[in-house]
Structure 1
Amino acid sequence: MSTVKRSSVTLKDVDQHKFVKEFAKFLKKSGKLKVPEWVDLVKNGKHKELAPYDRDWYYVRCSALLRHIYIRSPVGVGAVTKIFGGRKRNGVCPSHYCRSSGSVARKALQSLEDLKLIERVGDEGRKITSHGRRDVDRIAAQVKRKKKEKMLDLGLTAAGSGTVVLPTVASA
């Protein structure tokens, strides 16, 4: 039985951090994502002391959320608050886990729904649409292409198994 080599690139083929950054840029550049007015004033949860420093944090949150829904679907607001929760420091008392803001999670999901990237699935939560999957895979392919171009610019060549072969320097 012969194996068929896929030429398409999916989200699972690229670095997650680079993908989230690139998709956040895509969301900001498109200008279609509806950003609430209060994003510059709000904390991301009661476990945080300050609001986010990054002005584009809402785009990053939406792209990270879309990535999570792509991998584990369906996802509801409660699951999102668990994902983005963290450690609440209680001074001299022991720290405890605390969920993130439900309003931020709900608005991020609603913003992605307005773009038709995700859709509701009854009471189960939200899942990615075919349009959303296409956009995610397209941005993932761009990320992979940029990585390949960067490797070629550095003079590195990739062997067949994905390992990097450093160029040898001829000694005199």
Structure 2
Amino acid sequence: MDIVKTSKAKDLGPVNSDWFYVRCASILRRMYHRGPIGVGGVKKIFGSRKRNGVCPSHYCRADGAVSRRALQALEHIKLIEKHSDGGRKLTPQGQRDLDRIASQIVATSRLVAKKEVLSIGDE
């Protein structure tokens, strides 16, 4: 996935080498809050404004192939599954993993804040 544009509204491809993993993580986060979504929903979420030069700009959806491949990759590692009404939803294992990661982030941020308070108190 080195030579790809994430939307027809973009001029260049992504600069970050880990962009696909960031996109997958963002899709998981959206799915956690929003419930079952499909490729069309992901395209709508990651769409952006297309500048048309001197003409007015318009909203443009993201690339469907990138969205579909990200959903397929997440489905392959069993974090999401197909929903009966269409689209995809989080599996119980995926929700457990997201909860665990979020609690680790909160715990480390609390530890850092506690260390900062203690270091300020020593001065």
Structure with greater contact order relative to length (CA < 8 Å, sep ≥ 6) = 1
In 2: Cα distance, 1:92 partner to 1:146 partner: 49
Q: What amino acid is aligned across from residue 66 of structure 2 in structure 1?
A: V
For the pair 1:118 / 2:80, whether they are aligned, the reply is yes
Pick the aligned partner of 1:92 from 50, 54, 69.
54
In 2: Cα distance, 1:48 partner to 1:71 partner: 27
**Secondary structure of the equivalent of 1:155?**
helix
The count of residues paired between Structure 1 and Structure 2 equals 122
Q: Gaps spanning 5+ residues in structure 2: where?
A: none
Question: 1:134 Cα shift?
Answer: 0.7
Q: Where in structure 2 are the equivalents of 1:1-172 lying within 5 Å?
A: 39-155=1-117
In 2: Cα distance, 1:87 partner to 1:108 partner: 22
Instruction: Name which one, 1 or 2, has greater alpha-carbon Rg.
Output: 1
TM superposition outliers: structure 1 runs of 4+ over 6 Å: none
Q: Percent identity between the aligned chains? A: 54
Question: 1:104 Cα shift?
Answer: 0.3
Question: 1:123 Cα shift?
Answer: 4.3
Note the alpha carbon deviations across 1:139-170, whole angstroms, 9 max, x for none: 001100110111012116xxxxxxxxx86x7x
In 2: Cα distance, 1:148 partner to 1:123 partner: 40
Q: What's the C-alpha RMSD, in Å, of the aligned pairs?
A: 1.6
**Secondary structure of the equivalent of 2:117?**
coil
The structure whose residues are more often helix, as a share, is 2
Q: What amino acid is aligned across from residue 29 of structure 2 in structure 1?
A: R
| TM-score, L = length of structure 2 | 0.94
| TM-score, L = length of structure 1 | 0.68
Q: What amino acid is aligned across from residue 98 of structure 2 in structure 1?
A: V
Note the alpha carbon deviations across 1:96-142, whole angstroms, 9 max, x for none: 00000000000000000001000001342100000000110110011
Q: Gaps spanning 5+ residues in structure 1: where?
A: 1-38, 157-165
